[in-house]
Amino acid sequence: MKRTVIQGTGRHLPKRLVTNDDISRLMDTSDEWIIQRTGIEQRYWVPEDENIGPSDLGAEAAKKALEKAGWTPEDIDLIIFASLSPDLFFPGSGCLLQHLLGLHTTPALDIRQQCTGFFYGIATADAFIRSGQANRVLFVGAEIHSRGLDISSRGRDVAVIFGDGAGAICLEGVETDEPVGVLASALHSQGEFSHSLMIEAPTFRCAPSINEEMIKEGRHYPKMDGRLIFKNAVRRLPEVAGEVLDKAGLTMNDIDLVIPHQANLRINQAFQKAMNLEDEKIFNNINKYGNTTAASIPIALDEVIENKKVGRGDTVLFIGLGAGLTWGSIVYRF
């Protein structure tokens, strides 16, 4: 049976470290508020004077993942690029990444699932691999939030949360009788709450797609109903974890490590409590990077592998919820 296995991972963070105290100098917030409400201590933002996009961060992460997998770019059958902050409105950043990797006609697919880009991306890669349409897939999640945030007290609820960064994963179809690789996935969306976290403009609903009035109102900045997202995450994450474990024929006792999306430490602590998990069974790194949306789980996974927190035979549960709303979960065995 063909199974989708991870052959290499990589991460790349921009070099500008931004602490909570740095942010507190730009708007009415404090280190204490940010740590207490989110668990974030710092994040990385791209330098203001550097002309780089998410595809550039993604390319750096991809090169590291390719090296660990022992692949050359030519080995890639399909690129899947997840981002809510693409280089261009269109075409997708996957095409830009393809060119940066020195490739000529390799297919590149962009997905717009925000914080759940990892789940939708890996489930798509798994479907391509198991159906025989591709055997080696490069998944990249990359974001540059810092250039699209309202860096003022008006935007403080959102601006303090998000960080820039990229993570990459090389996935390969392997014939094996062992129950390894992607064991199950579960995906959901609820468009009813699409306006609870969004960037509205430029918008093709309006003519013109953006104007001075919209800019004055800050409609080109992300808007978030934090409490609504928080409540939905606390409800949906245990629910989807149960669903994916059922699909895999496992229980929480079979899971060696949970790697959740890093949106808010309190959300992950609520999940931990709901599932009755010991501290060492859940991984968090939001303190260092903030919320890097589509890059958050790939970055966490790369750290977990690098620090040997998981090894052969270990089973990992990934979970997350974000804009859309979208949410999902994946069970993976090394």
Active site residues: 115, 261, 291
Q: Least distance in Å: CB of 43 to ligand UT7?
A: 13
Tokens for 187, please give them.
């995906």
Cα separation, 7 vs 169, whole angstroms? 8
Closest contact distance (angstroms) between CB of 72 and ligand UT7 is 34
**Spatial distance between the Cα atoms of 134 and 121, rounded to a whole number of angstroms:** 14
Regarding 33 and contact with ligand UT7 (CB under 6 A), the answer is: yes
% helix / strand / coil in the chain, to the nearest 5? 40, 25, 35
CB of 283 to ligand UT7, least distance (A): 16
Q: Which is nearer to ligand UT7, 4 or 38 (CB)?
A: 38
Binding mask 225-244 for ligand UT7 (x = CB under 6 A): -xx-xx--x-----------
The string over 166-191, giving b where at least 16 C-beta atoms fall within 10 Å of a residue's C-beta and e elsewhere, is: bbbbbbbbbeeeeebbbbbbbbbbee
CB of 320 to ligand UT7, least distance (A): 8
Which of 37, 188, 247, 281: binder of ligand UT7 (CB under 6 A)?
Answer: 37
- Measured CA to CA, the distance from residue 200 to residue 194 in angstroms comes to 11
If residue 55 lies in a helix (H) or strand (E), which one and from where to where?
helix 54-69
Q: Which of 57, 61, 109, 115 binds ligand UT7 (CB under 6 A)?
A: 115
| Binding flag, residue 193, ligand UT7 (CB under 6 A) | no
Closer by beta carbon to ligand UT7, 135 or else 190: 190
What is the chain's alpha carbon radius of gyration, rounded to the nearest angstrom? 19
Show contacts with ligand UT7 in window 249-278 (CB under 6 A): 263-264, 267
Helix (H, G, I), strand (E, B) or coil at 175: strand
Q: Which amino acid is at 203?
A: T
Amino acid at 97: L
Distance CA 226, CA 183 (A): 32
For the bound state, the minimum distance from the C-beta of residue 186 to ligand UT7, rounded and expressed in Å, comes to: 18
**What binding mask, one character per residue, do residues 141-160 give for ligand UT7 by CB under 6 A, x or -?**
---------------xx--x
Residues that bind ligand UT7 (CB under 6 A): 29, 33, 37-38, 115, 156-157, 160, 197, 226-227, 229-230, 233, 263-264, 267, 291, 293, 322
